[in-house]
Amino acid sequence: MRHILFALCIVTAAPAFANDGFGGLSATGLTFGQTEAVAMETEDLFISPTRIEVAYTFRNLTDQDVTGEVIFPLPPISLEALTSSDWNLPEEAGRDDLLGFTASVEGKPVAVSIDRIAVIEPEWDPTRPIAAQYDTPGRDVTAALEAAGVPLSVDIGAVQAELLALPEDQRNALEAAGLVDFVDGEAWPHWAVVIRYHWTQTFPAGARLKVAHGYDHRPPGGIFAWAHPPAEGWTAELAAQYCIDDSTSSGIMKRLARPDGEGSYGSAQYIDYVLRTANSWAGPIGQFRLTLDKGSERNIISLCADGIKKTGPTTFVWERENFTPQRDLSILIVSPFE
């Protein structure tokens, strides 16, 4: 029997140019410690602004069972960021399961465990790969917080209240360790919380196995203004990142045009989905199907994908065979204000 570690990984994405936006969580698919033992025969991926669903067919190519822990970690959620900006998190931020995550194997629900750790993230480095957020999220400070009775929650108000209620000696110890600053009667935590979903999975020898998972999608976004044609600076960067051609650019301009003639602006969501993790499986993806739902007929969607087909008022499909992803998905959904 072979034992291998899997991971389903979510990455954060917040555009550097969005000065009036909110943070959020985007996603990647089921990954595997590099293996030639298990192939991904099919992947059926559905992405909308509010939901992600993925269904796979895997095949164990060997005559031995392959067993490991499937892990679905969220990236570090910075409490420091939560104190200074809005985030696309559920109203009940203190709940254990932030995403309503579910998984099934051969159509039967899987019992998924959830655990949390607290980390001090590395200094910001624009060259740091996105995957590093979940591979090496930072210095583990869970024990220090648990010893002080501080909850590993992303409910920032509740955490700050707990910190301010601590005895002076514990407050001083946490401050000396660089975990929090107490200034003018306020508490400013410096750690981030990593939430991990996980379960143990066996791929039977020589057999196919259907695995599916789904969760609430909470991508970043914010107010969005546009000018056609894209000028230098962030509009040109957006056009390159999301392959906004001349026709789409003109369409965004018209769709967001204000009735009072005061420019073209609305809101946008920025969706990143890491595809290249599929390359850790044996060989290419046999059949890959991506279904996108832009959410409303009034919305405009743009991404870099040749041969994408419109299949409904809000849906699009992109299909590939023997697919080896060379780049990840970056999807822009632009919405006019009501």
Looking at residue 150, what is its pLDDT?
A: 95
Looking at residue 64, what is its pLDDT?
A: 94
Residue pair 120/141 in contact by the 8 Å Cβ criterion: yes
The CATH number of whichever domain residue 319 belongs to comes to 2.60.40.3680
Looking at residue 32, what is its pLDDT?
A: 52
Looking at residue 34, what is its pLDDT?
A: 56
Residue at 148 is within a domain: no
Looking at residue 8, what is its pLDDT?
A: 42
How far is Cα 281 from Cα 230, in angstroms, rounded to an integer?
39
The whole domain housing 48 covers 2-141+191-335
Residue at 45 is within a domain: yes
Looking at residue 18, what is its pLDDT?
A: 34
- How many structural domains comprise the chain? 1
Looking at residue 5, what is its pLDDT?
A: 38
Residue at 159 is within a domain: no
Residue at 195 is within a domain: yes
In the beta sheet, which residues pair with residue 80? none
Residue at 184 is within a domain: no
Residue at 179 is within a domain: no
- Enumerate residues 6+ apart whose C-beta is below 8 A from 229: 246, 249
Looking at residue 195, what is its pLDDT?
A: 87
Q: Which of 171, 169, 190 is nearest to 182 (CA)?
A: 171
Looking at residue 105, what is its pLDDT?
A: 96
Residue at 259 is within a domain: yes
Measured at the CA of 191, the angle between CA 181 and CA 142, to 5 degrees, comes to 115
Looking at residue 21, what is its pLDDT?
A: 60
Residue 14, phi-psi category: left (phi > 0), alpha (psi -120 to 50), beta (remainder)? beta
Looking at residue 3, what is its pLDDT?
A: 40
The pairing of beta strand 329-335 with beta strand 265-274: antiparallel
What is the residue type of 52? I
The gap from C-alpha 68 to its chain's centroid, in whole angstroms, comes to: 23
Residue at 221 is within a domain: yes
Q: Along the chain (338 residues), what's the average pLDDT of each consecutive run of 10 residues?
A: 41 38 57 72 95 94 87 84 83 83 96 93 82 80 95 94 96 96 95 89 94 92 89 86 94 90 88 76 90 97 95 97 89 92
Looking at residue 130, what is its pLDDT?
A: 65
Query: SS3 for 168?
Result: helix
